[in-house]
Amino acid sequence: MQLKIGNIYIKDVQFASTTEVKDGVLHLNKDEFLAVAGDDERIASVDVYLAKPGEETRIIPVKDVIEPRVKVEGDGGIFPGFMCGVEQVGSGTTHVLKGAAIVTTGRIVGFQEGIVDMSGPGAEYTPFSKTYNIVLKVEPIDGILQHEHEEIVRLAGFRAGIYVGKAGKDVTPDDYKTFETKPLVQQINEYPDLPKVVYVYMLQTQGLLHDTYVYGVDAKKIIPTFLYPTEVFDGAVVSGNCVSACDKNPSYVHMNHPVIEELYAKHGKEFNFLGCVVTNENVTLMDKERSSNMTAKLVEFIGADAVIISEEGFGNPDADLVMNCNKITKKGIKTVLITDEYAGQDGASQSLADSTPVGDAVVTGGNANEIIKLPVMKTVIGYPEVAEVIAGGFQGSLASDGSIIVELQAITGATSEVGYGKLSARTY
């Protein structure tokens, strides 16, 4: 399966009478945008704001981040199972408004939502301080339950992403990148002397409001399955969860998955990248055993020599990560784990809730418990008072002057467990 990505680089976003891209500037018709995004009888009000890199702007609470994309050639569309049918995506040509993002906010749904600062020290920890953000504030009607509230905001964000993405349909991209994964036998035979690598892509599905979707299906309901990596770039996997902002994968991150992009970059050079096995993170021991058994069986069946495993979230999902590691390693397949740490504010506590001696190759996204002070911002989009409620905050987090003290856990993307973040390791 081959997918051609055409990148249209966005260097500014402005409100205008017509939604279009001209000379790298995204012009947005506010009224049309709100009519599309707010097209749900369960929505009481909807508004839109612009937040640009370097501005003294804070967005809180951040629910999801979505990249505007549009299918210009090939089957299906963007966000299959939600915004189009369930045709297989990941082939043909897709145009991307690179540098633009839809950020959804509004009243808090679950306590594990985040903060994006467009400047200051907090901006150094989130990748979305560098995007030109179209902030969609959605307020549902009264009486909506939490899971429906999440759905309303999620779908509004997807509608907004589709509307904005269409502005790039007839624009000539600034550059193209082509990604291809062939059927298994062909793929193996193309580079028979290189190690065969599979990515085990763990999705957050652990309980209420911990939902990730594959072709519109809540991944709680799936058994481990194979995806062509290119399917991910067309929105086959999207976020619907309220988990700690620091290591949550917003839909934007799934669509720009750095592990998949890096594996493609080294495919045919250092190893043979065979594809993705998506699996879930479970609540009960029985479900954990089932999914990890089937994941190990599937990567063995595919013929992997080595596997990269990433998790989403922390605590209970650490057990799923370790089970996958143990069972895959037992089959003679090498593993590398990607996680982050909750090691206490002093960094002295146990980093993970579970561990294994065979987990001897681990990449960390950083310590989510580290404390940071976020200064006063001139503009706050959303509800600053939730700083004391969201994960990483505490009573007294919000000072009277508007500054905030929180753990990195509260900052969207701060300790990304797929590496879509700004932290790195240095040797002194």
Each residue's pLDDT expressed in tens, for the chain with a length of 428 residues: 999 999 999 999 999 999 999 999 999 999 999 999 999 999 999 999 999 999 999 999 999 999 999 999 999 999 999 999 999 999 999 999 999 999 999 998 877 899 999 999 999 999 999 999 999 999 999 999 988 999 999 999 999 999 999 999 999 999 999 999 999 999 999 999 999 999 999 999 987 888 999 999 999 999 999 999 999 999 999 999 878 999 999 999 999 999 999 999 999 999 999 999 999 999 999 999 999 999 999 999 999 999 999 999 999 999 999 999 999 999 999 999 999 999 999 999 998 889 999 999 999 999 999 999 999 999 999 999 999 999 999 999 999 999 999 999 999 999 999 999 888 777 66
Predicted local confidence at residue 241, as pLDDT: 85
3-state secondary structure of 289: helix
pTM attached to this predicted model: 0.95
Q: What is the predicted pLDDT for the residue at 8?
A: 98
Assess contact for 47 and 369: CB atoms under 8 A. Answer: no
DSSP E strands in 10-108: the ranges are 12-15, 20-22, 25-28, 43-51, 57-62, 65-66, 69-73, 92-98, 100-105
Assign 302 to helix, strand or coil: helix
| Distance from C-alpha of 425 to C-alpha of 414, rounded to nearest angstrom | 14
Which DSSP category does 167 fall into?
Answer: G
CA-CA distance, 262 to 254, in Å (whole number)? 14
- Order of strands, edge to edge, in the sheet holding 114-117? 114-117, 57-62, 379-382
DSSP state letter for 375: P
Burial class (CB in 10 A: 0-12, 13-18, 19+), 221: exposed
Task: Please give the pLDDT value at position 428.
Answer: 67
| First-last CA distance in the chain | 44
Cα distances (angstroms) measured from residue 299 to each of 88, 307, 336: 22, 8, 14
Contact call for residues 353 and 388 (beta carbons, < 8 A): no
Residues whose CB falls within 8 Å of the CB of residue 292, separated by 6 or more in sequence, listed in order: 279, 320, 323, 324, 326, 327
Measure CA 124 to chain center.
18
Query: Residue 284: how many CB atoms within 10 A of its CB?
Result: 8
Kind plus residue range of the DSSP H or E element containing 197 = strand 196-203
pLDDT of residue 412: 97
* Active-site annotation, residues: 242
Instruction: With beta carbons less than 8 A apart as the criterion, state whether 103 and 127 touch.
Output: no
Separation of alpha carbons 156 and 45, rounded Å: 12
